[in-house]
Amino acid sequence: MRILHVLGSLNRGGIETWLRHTVVRLPRGRYQSDFCTYRSERGAYAVDVESFGCELHHIPLGSSPVAILRFAKQFRRLLGEGHYDVVHCHGLLLVGFILFLAWLENTPVRVAHAHSVDRNARPANRLGLVLNRALTRVCSTHGITCSAETGVALFGRHWRENPKNKLIHCGVDLTAFVGDIDEEALRTALGIEPGRKTIGHVGSFSAVKNQRFLVEMAAHVFRRRPDVVLLLVGEGTLRPSIEESCLELGIRPRVIFAGESSRVPDLMRSAMDVFVMPSLHEGLGMVLLEAQAAGLPCLASDVVPHEVAVSDGAVQFLSLESGVEAWADAVLSLLEKPLRRPDLLARMVNSDFNVVVSAERLENLYRQTEIAPQDSSPVAGAYSAKV
């Protein structure tokens, strides 16, 4: 079975990390998984997936009518030459358009995979979401959502009533959270002095991750506890402005910008004492799953889907409207409690928060498409698969 995954890039992120760990778990003799990106030509995971035998294609997608038509032509050519059995499109706004092109090329299996939401969409984007939802409903043969909220965003409020839509939580690689680790060496390499407590955060420097709120909150914590530092892992266009904010707040010496890292599980296990996620919205919050696998006390904004919590009390949810002082109080309270919860990792093993389990569920869906009666007509609504 030839499968083409379509997404923006192969940079480090929740969708990309899950896919990188999922495709290598599909039986290689049974499935050929390729990738088509439309934003970044390469990415941190490009070498990994190529080493597994995946082919990478990049077709840039601009916003002008000419650029869109050029993308459509090149993408349809790729589908025709690649003879793909499955187009599996990940994201939100472009899913319906991509699957419409796949339908035009008579690709028999067209999977819409909802990974994100857009709570603050501008009026033009809201119209785009409505049109995208309609196209997705008509042109997809299968729907997958990583959370209840992303299901609503892509498939509508009644997504559960359509048998072709399935909830499959994206899992994380739990093997990265076991084994010995040189905690002292990692903390020293980051410049974290002995005896310091660390507030940890992992995410691209973008508006949705809300790092401005995070550093303002940290300033309140620092005034009350001189032994605390803030560790920020990630890169992005807003990093310079966040560094400038730290200078304005007078906290720059106590904020560590670690950059993008391939060792996030190790950093969580060794260099962080509390994990904080003040996002404006999240599809699921994969990095929050990783933080729980590391046993960290977690604080997240209440717009993050609550189903990401591995167990009751594993994540404390707090409204951003509570303000930075209330968040600082919550962080200080977490720092006073016993720090690690090793039981959370064990709870994740048999759930689809484990990438092994979520990969099995995805393979089950692919297997069902091989024996299901096929009808590529969007009017007919195609067929469904049981997972």
> Residue 97 is part of a domain; what is its CATH number?
3.40.50.2000
Residues forming a β-bridge with 87: 4, 110
Query: Is 284:14 a contact under the CB 8 Å cutoff?
Result: yes
Alpha-carbon gap, residue 210 to 360, rounded angstroms: 34
Tell whether 385 is covered by a domain. no
176 backbone dihedrals φ, ψ, rounded to 5°: -75, -10
CB 113 within 8 A of CB 14: no
Same domain, 67 and 134: yes
Same domain, 45 and 165: yes
Does residue 383 lie in a domain region? no
377 in a domain, yes or no? no
Residue-by-residue DSSP string for 144-178? EESSHHHHHHHH-TTGGGSTTEEE-PPPB-GGGG-
- Compute the average pLDDT of residues 313-332: 97
The pLDDT of residue 41: 85
Q: What is the pLDDT of residues 323-382, one digit of tens each?
A: 999 999 999 999 987 678 889 999 999 998 999 999 999 999 999 887 554 444 443 333
Higher-confidence position of 307 and 40: 307
* Structure confidence at residue 369 (pLDDT): 84
Claim to verify: residue 139 and residue 180 sit in the same structural domain = no
What pLDDT score was predicted for residue 381?
Answer: 38
Q: For 100-142, how does the pLDDT look when each residue is reduced to its tens digit (9 = 90+)?
A: 999 999 999 999 999 988 765 566 667 778 888 899 999 999 9
pLDDT at 40 over 90: no
Give residue 222's domain range.
Answer: 174-348
């955060």: which residue's tokens? 201
What is the rounded distance in angstroms from the CA atom of residue 68 to the CA atom of residue 62? 6
Predicted local distance difference test score (pLDDT) of residue 386: 30
Residue 384 lies in a domain: no
Q: Is residue 265 part of a domain?
A: yes
What single DSSP character describes residue 322?
Answer: G
- Count Cβ atoms within 10 A of the Cβ of residue 132 and give its class: 0-12 exposed, 13-18 middle, 19 or more buried: buried
Residue 376 covered by a domain: no
Among 244, 248, 221, 231, residue whose Cα is nearest residue 193? 231
Q: What is the mean pLDDT of residues 284-289?
A: 95
Domains contained in the chain, number? 2
Please report the pLDDT score of residue 187 as a whole number: 94
Q: Which residues pair with 277 in a beta bridge?
A: 300
- Same domain for 180 and 163: no
Per-residue pLDDT of 55-99, as tens digits, reads: 999 999 998 999 999 999 999 999 999 999 999 999 988 999 999
**32 and 52 in one domain?**
yes
Note whether 235 and 365 are same-domain residues.
no
Same domain, 362 and 305: no
The span from the first CA to the last CA of the chain, in angstroms, equals: 18
| pLDDT exceeds 70 at position 18 | yes
What is the distance between the alpha carbons of residues 285 and 243, in angstroms, rounded to a whole number? 24
User: Do 120 and 43 belong to one domain?
Assistant: yes
